[in-house]
Amino acid sequence: MKYMLIMRTTDEGLASFADVDFDTMLETMGRFNDELISAGVLVAAEGFDDASQGVVVDYSSLPPVVTDGPYGETKELFGGFWILDVASQEEAVEWATRVPTVGPGLKTEIRRIASIDEFPQDNPWVQRERVWREATGQL
Q: What is the pLDDT of residues 93-113, one digit of tens each?
A: 999 999 998 888 889 999 999
The pLDDT of residue 101 is: 83
Any idea what DSSP says for residue 64?
A: P
C-alpha 28/C-alpha 71 separation (Å) is 28
CATH code given to domain 2-135: 3.30.70.1060
Q: What is the pLDDT of residues 54-72, one digit of tens each?
A: 888 889 999 999 888 766 6
Residue 19 CA from chain centroid, whole number: 24
Q: Name the 3-class secondary structure at 57.
A: strand
Q: What is the pTM of this model?
A: 0.84
For the chain, domain boundaries: 2-135
Average pLDDT, the chain: 90
Strands 42-47 and 2-9: unpaired
The pLDDT of residue 73 is: 62
Q: What is the pLDDT of residues 27-50, one digit of tens each?
A: 999 999 999 999 999 999 998 888
- pLDDT surpassing 90 at residue 17: no
- pLDDT surpassing 90 at residue 22: no
